[in-house]
Chains A and B, each alone.
Chain A
Amino acid sequence: EAGVTQFPSHSVIEKGQTVTLRCDPISGHDNLYWYRRVMGKEIKFLLHFVKESKQDESGMPNNRFLAERTGGTYSTLKVQPAELEDSGVYFCASSQGDSSEQFFGPGTRLTVL
């Protein structure tokens, strides 16, 4: 069974540009989560989808971040415009039920110059 996949693995962009990260959860997992780790800090929650609906987006830092999960399958996280402080590793995770084990993808390392 394929795990959680994320694309791209690395992205280097200039401040002010737009970047879109993609996450494909494990097939059949209704719950999809986005987290990120910025330099030297703990991994922090961004938001949670149940199927195509945003269940909790309390961790989204500001309105430059937009997440979507059309059709309840893969999800995208767009940062527009990117700022220097957005640099970090963005992780996606999925789970079958909301009390179930969360499985993480390999992450996307975002560098904003």
Chain B
Amino acid sequence: KQEVTQIPAALSVPEGENLVLNCSFTDSAIYNLQWFRQDPGKGLTSLLLIQSSQREQTSGRLNASLDKSSGRSTLYIAASQPGDSATYLCAVRGSARQLTFGSGTQLTVLP
């Protein structure tokens, strides 16, 4: 059974800092991995999708990497801004089409 862990559970950084969020998964037989952000009381916004054959994906200030063999992914946020404050969720898709979610990292970027 796939398990997804996100560390740290919460992170507070000053504006402008570069930061890394971590995601690990127990079963390396994944099809893809997706990073989301969730703002309080809102739905999930998809940030990046990495297919199992890819090593990284970039979108603006965001860069996600995937190391399938070690069961790890990282989300790098460059030059953080207060608007980046949200909960970041990692989810993996295995042979079944469902996503298995981690519990998220709550990020606060201080002005």
Residues of chain A touching chain B, judged by Cβ–Cβ distance below 8 Å, are 4, 31, 33, 35, 41-45, 48, 55-56, 58-59, 91, 93, 98-107
Measured between beta carbons, the chain B residues less than 8 angstroms from A43 are: 44, 89, 91, 99, 101
Task: Give how many A-B residue pairs fall within 8 Å (CB-CB).
Answer: 58
- 20 new A-B pairs (CB below 8 Å) besides A42-B4, A99-B93, A107-B43? A4-B43, A31-B97, A33-B99, A42-B104, A44-B101, A45-B98, A45-B99, A45-B100, A48-B98, A56-B97, A58-B96, A58-B98, A59-B98, A91-B43, A93-B99, A101-B49, A102-B34, A102-B46, A104-B36, A104-B44
Tell me the complex Cα distance, A91–B91, Å: 14
Question: Is B102 part of the binding interface, using a Cβ–Cβ cutoff of 8 Å?
Answer: yes
CB-based contact A56/B102 at 8 Å: no
Chain A residue with the shortest CB-CB distance to B45: A104
Given contacts A42-B102, A101-B49, contact A55 B97 (CB under 8 A): yes
Tell me the complex Cα distance, A100–B32, Å: 9
Residues of chain B touching chain A, judged by Cβ–Cβ distance below 8 Å, are 4, 31-32, 34, 36, 42-46, 49, 51, 89, 91, 93, 96-104
Q: Which applies to chain B's interface (DSSP): helix, strand, loop or mixed?
A: strand
Tell me the complex Cα distance, A99–B94, Å: 10
Return 15 A-B CB contacts under 8 Å, by A number: A42-B4, A42-B101, A43-B44, A43-B99, A45-B99, A48-B97, A58-B96, A91-B44, A93-B44, A98-B97, A101-B49, A102-B34, A102-B46, A103-B46, A104-B45
Measured between beta carbons, the chain A residues less than 8 angstroms from B32 are: 99
Given contacts A42-B101, A42-B103, contact A101 B96 (CB under 8 A): no
Chain A residue with the shortest CB-CB distance to B52: A99
- Other-chain residue from B4, B46, B51, B96 in contact with A99 (beta carbon distance below 8 A): B51
Tell me the complex Cα distance, A34–B69, Å: 29
CB-based contact B51/A101 at 8 Å: no
CB-based contact A102/B96 at 8 Å: no
